[in-house]
Amino acid sequence: MTTSAPIRPPCPPGACDCGRDPLLETPGADVRILFLTRVEEKRLIERLENLQSLTDLEHLQRRMFDQLGIHVNVAPGFNEVRTMRGIGISIDELPGLCRKTRASIPAAIRRALEKRPEIAYDLLNANDLLRDA
């Protein structure tokens, strides 16, 4: 007997622009993102909020890409980084990724960086903090 993994239910009409239905209708499309149910999303957000180190963040970035196809970019902004807002966190466009999820992942990473500033310092050092000195 085969059981399929649960997929995310559709968002209310007009509330989201994720493109879930066209993604399901496209043969051969990558539907891994739809396996991120609301319960799993909450677990992911909690895990992101409780990052312990830069390597932990990088590990989670790889896991999100491998398992869900979500590519998260975390890097210092082009200007000075005086606060955590100066660190750019972006998610590449992905059909099926809910609008709320697209906003909650960067917010969770930002909260983790505020909670543990040493992760932000390691990120800055890894991206050549003193390149112009």
Mean pLDDT in each 10-residue stretch from start to end of the chain (133 residues)? 68 79 84 89 95 94 94 80 73 89 93 91 76 52
- In this prediction the pTM is 0.85
1 belongs to a structural domain: no
103 belongs to a structural domain: yes
Domain of 65? 30-126
13 belongs to a structural domain: no
Closest CA relative to residue 76, chosen from 41, 31, 125, 14: 125
67 belongs to a structural domain: yes
What is the reported pLDDT for 1? 42
Distance, CA of 37 to CA of 5 (rounded, Å): 10
111 belongs to a structural domain: yes
17 belongs to a structural domain: no
56 belongs to a structural domain: yes
105 belongs to a structural domain: yes
At residue 123, φ and ψ (nearest 5 deg) are: -65, -45
What is the reported pLDDT for 73? 93
With 0-12 CB in 10 A as exposed, 13-18 as middle and 19+ as buried, what is 98?
A: buried
Domain total for the chain? 1
DSSP for 7-47, please give it.
-PPPPPTTT----HHHHHHSTT---GGGG--HHHHHHHHHH
